[in-house]
Amino acid sequence: EPEVTQTPSHQVTQMGQEVILRCVPISNHLYFYWYRQILGQKVEFLVSFYNNEISEKSEIFDDQFSVERPDGSNFTLKIRSTKLEDSAMYFCASSPTSRETQYFGPGTRLLVL
Amino acid sequence: KQEVTQIPAALSVPEGENLVLNCSFTDSAIYNLQWFRQDPGKGLTSLLLIQSSQREQTSGRLNASLDKSSGRSTLYIAASQPGDSATYLCAVWEGTYKYIFGTGTRLKVLA
């Protein structure tokens, strides 16, 4: 069964550094998403992406964040100048259309020191 | 604004018990509801998806029901096993781009 994959599974970075989290969505899916889960808190929506554009973003998704589909398979989340509070599990998801369910990847655990 | 709440926050049961996890949501205008399992430090595993037109879905020992009008869903786990120990999350989709997640129920099944 096709699945969403994410790399790396864990990343440790120093405060102020830039990180790029990578996702490979399911191949025939057109909509892509990032969610975040701070330890002990709810999973929160960050951004959705379709046709090389952001279709919706939450108030969390400020100028520090950006998303990109650099090629036909990858979908990336870039966090510029990381802060301690960016430490969280980041989940990627994809769906065939905006009206169908989203399939989630296993997550990347980011730790900012 | 949609709010999703799960009760109880934590639950500890002896092996073999049948149990019910609850999820409530404030706005009944949802397209579907999904139950996930999350092991400590791990990702989300989808367990059951219920469309708004459905009343329940079953997979093995799991049964999820949906009462949209009252804003409630339950996840029933039959004959619980220690391997069922995890956090269970429900999430609703309103037809916009995002799922809205609940707070989770942390389940521990004692051998």
For the segment A13-26, what is each residue's pLDDT rounded down to a tens digit? 999 999 999 999 99
End-to-end CA distance of chain A: 37
Q: Does residue B45 have a pLDDT over 90?
A: no
My answer on whether omega of the bond before B14 falls inside 30° of 0, hence cis, is no
Q: Tell which B residues from 3 to 32 touch A, by Cβ distance under 8 Å.
A: 31-32
Q: Which residues contact A6 (CB under 8 A, 6 or more apart)?
A: A21, A22, A23, A24, A90, A91, A92, A105, A106, A107, A108
Percent of residues, chain B, with pLDDT higher than 90: 80
Reported confidence tier of residue A112, pLDDT bands at 50, 70, 90: very high
Contact criterion met (CB below 8 Å) for A2 and A102: no
Mean pLDDT of chain B: 93
Q: Which residue of B has its CA nearest to A56?
A: B97
Tokens in use for A96? 């065939």
A91 close contact with B: CB closer than 8 A: yes
Q: Quick: pLDDT tens for A40-89.
A: 899 999 999 999 999 999 999 999 999 999 887 899 999 999 999 999 99
Quick check: A101 and B43 CB within 8 A? no
Reported confidence tier of residue A6, pLDDT bands at 50, 70, 90: very high
* Beta strand A65-68 pairing with A103-104: unpaired
Quick check: A99 and B31 CB within 8 A? yes
CA B15 to chain CA centroid, Å, is 19
Reported confidence tier of residue B35, pLDDT bands at 50, 70, 90: very high
Contact criterion met (CB below 8 Å) for A60 and A36: yes
Q: Quick: pLDDT tens for B51-99.
A: 999 999 999 999 999 999 999 999 999 999 999 999 999 999 987 778 9
What phi and psi, each to the nearest 5 degrees, are found at residue A6?
A: -135, 145
Which chain A residues are within 8 Å of B91, Cβ to Cβ?
43
Reported confidence tier of residue A100, pLDDT bands at 50, 70, 90: confident
Query: What DSSP string runs through B18-56?
Result: -EEEEEEES----SEEEEEEE-TT--EEEEEEEETT-SE
Compute the distance between CA of residue A36 and CA of residue B41 in angstroms, rounded to an integer. 13
Which chain A residues are within 8 Å of B49, Cβ to Cβ?
101
